Amino acid sequence: MGFKFRIEYKTGASNRAADALSRREEDTHELELFTSYAQPIPKLCTAIRTAQLECPILQRLHAAVRVGTGPPHVSIHDGILYYKLRIYIPTSSPICEQLLREFHSTPLAGHQGVERTFRRLAAVFYWTNMRRSVRDFVASCTVCQATKYITQKPAGLGMSPFQALYGREPPNLFATMSIRSRSPAVEELLRERADLLQDLKTNLTKMQHRMRDQANRHRRDVTFQPGDLVLLKLQPYRQHSVARPGSQKLSRRYYGPFPVIERIGAVAYRLQLPEGCRIHDVVHVSLLRPFVQRGSMLPEPSLPADFYKTRPIFTPVSAVRRRIVLVDGTPQEQWLVQWSTGSTSDTTWEPVQELRRHFPELALEDKVVSKAGGVDTDTFVEHEEDHESAEETTGVTRPRRTTRRPKRYDDYV
């Protein structure tokens, strides 16, 4: 009769019904009686014994050892074949994969390298081409590939830079003051190394404080109180496939003012935003700016209507003017579009084809204001279509100098 023990940790308050493994010292007699009925169940040994009997090569070795004609380093103990006092595992058996995971990938194994994994495994087991199996398994380990750094020597030097410079391997950085030696020279060397480590720690701490001071020099220590008026910084989002990337230097950056409701943590504040706003009301202090009020008049706080990932979206509202320009030698119709920012100064020239493709529901044709001069004409008047086409053709086909791309950009990707 055998038992399977499962060891579980229990705190003292919850361990009210003590089991056989936690008996007091005076209960040794009863404990001996219980343990006399307990026997280990060697599942791995049974699996190895079965795998050896299923392998034809090991079957012949079994037979040769029994009749006394086997190799000198092969022996049999308890029905298991050993090679140099190590358990012989068939190469084609899935037990090899199981042992590799146990000796490398488990928390107890610690994902060690090829040599250490091989030495620990080869001390108990043996199979053909074991080192190659260990090397391939460690190289394909997902955890090792994702977390470990490359320890190979540089291909050009064939050795580490420290060894190339000083002619020896770098020493290990461990505490050496606990080591004692009878030689005064060795004792002095250990003391110098301990002092060097202490100096390195001091210098690193000093540089960390210096870097922190340099970073804080460009930061401002701003604190707001509940009720203060602040401006909120929002970065406009505009489809770059529609609006060509231009300078946003003069575009609007701050919106508001909004009152501060409360302080959240050390660097965040909650703002009182307009009702229905689709952005989070808790923002970082770096996005806030104190509002300077003039007199008793307070401007009405406003925010864009639409947002994309906490960034306001601007859509075209009207087309102010129309023009035709040459883009890469091809005539292109463009409109001077006024966006939904509300500012009349924030207008850009946009290709009509791109506008219609990205905003198919917009109808700006009736909002185009035609102005005389050049090729700016009203293309939406039917009886003037032929005349305007001739005028546009005349203006576009004027002699122009052919522009070529500089040769230095031919191989540029």
Alpha helices in 156-224, H assignment, sequence order: 161-166, 184-217
Rg (CA), the chain: 40
Supply the pLDDT for residue 308: 41
Counting Cβ atoms within 10 Å, is residue 45 exposed (0-12), middle (13-18) or buried (19+)?
A: middle
Supply the pLDDT for residue 10: 76
Query: For residues 224 and 230, is the Cβ–Cβ distance under 8 A?
Result: yes
Q: Could you list the pLDDT tens digit for every one of the 413 residues in the chain? A: 467 778 777 777 777 666 655 555 555 555 555 555 445 556 888 888 899 889 988 888 888 888 888 888 888 888 888 998 899 999 989 999 999 999 999 888 888 899 999 999 999 999 999 999 999 999 888 888 877 776 666 666 777 778 888 888 776 655 555 556 678 887 888 888 888 888 988 999 999 999 988 988 877 788 899 999 998 887 654 444 444 444 556 566 788 889 999 999 888 999 998 877 777 889 898 889 888 887 777 777 766 655 444 445 567 777 778 888 888 888 888 888 877 665 666 677 888 887 777 676 666 655 554 444 444 444 433 334 444 443 344 344 455 677 777 777 776 55
For residue 57, the tally of other CB atoms under 10 A from its CB is 13
Supply the pLDDT for residue 373: 41
3-state secondary structure of 139: helix
- If you write DSSP's letter for every residue of 273-285 in order, what string do you get? PPTT--S-SEEEG
Residues 6+ apart with CB under 8 A from 94: none
Supply the pLDDT for residue 344: 63
Supply the pLDDT for residue 321: 82
Supply the pLDDT for residue 365: 57
Longest distance between any two alpha carbons in the chain, whole Å: 117
